Amino acid sequence: MLNFDLQNHKPLREIVYEELKRQILKGEIAPGHRMMEVELADDMGVSRTPVREAIRKLEKEGLVTIEPRKGAYASDISIKDMVDVLEVRQYLESLAAGMAAGRITPEEKQQLQEATDAYKQAVESEDTSEIIKWDENFHKIIVDCSGNKTLIQMISQVQELALRFRYIYYDDFSRYKNQPLEHQEIEEAIMNGNVEKARKEANEHLARLKEFVMLQGEKIVKGGQ
């Protein structure tokens, strides 16, 4: 059941939408799982109307598939879906890294350093939830450091989609033993104000991840479902 915050003035339909979206992105509602309005409404302690509205909104975002006479399902994840998102991330986040190298503030440098260190510790302890948390934070900080509002808005949606994939491909740690080093190389380039190197390291980092997904895709998708 939803824990309603009395200070939260959002409409009920928005709260239900955000909760269902969170569950899909984090894999709590697995790809292909049927989303029954009655069950979801009972679980959340709300009527079916906000659930129905949320499902329709999630369909427009590609997170839910509605089949006539069958119902709504959390959308399946394909290798192409993952590669498509990574291709966009590769270009946009390498651009953001270059901008960040030329604009990062002392306070942001500290935040980036903390995220880099926390991510490394999470990988060493193989704590999946912490790995995902700090991986997401690391990339978000870099984008925010670009100082470009348009770019931040564009990447925000892409990173949100990427969150869903992280919960699938982080089940395989074979690729991620080198991730802390790659993060560190991006961080150092940004800290040193080296625009071209920051852009290059970010581009190569995501290119390696894309290659990993293309090579191990079937195993990753099946393992996460």
Res 20 pLDDT > 50: yes
Contacts of 128 (CB under 8 A, 6+ apart): 170, 171
* Position 179 confidence tier, pLDDT thresholds 50, 70, 90: confident
Q: What is the pLDDT of residues 122-167, one digit of tens each?
A: 989 988 889 889 999 999 999 999 999 999 999 998 988 888 877 7
Average pLDDT over residues 184-213: 95
**Residue (of 170, 155, 19, 156) closest to 94 by Cα position:** 155
Q: What is the dihedral of CA 185, 186, 187, 189, to 10 degrees?
A: 80
Report the pLDDT value the prediction gives residue 166, as an integer from 0 to 100: 77
pLDDT at 104: 98
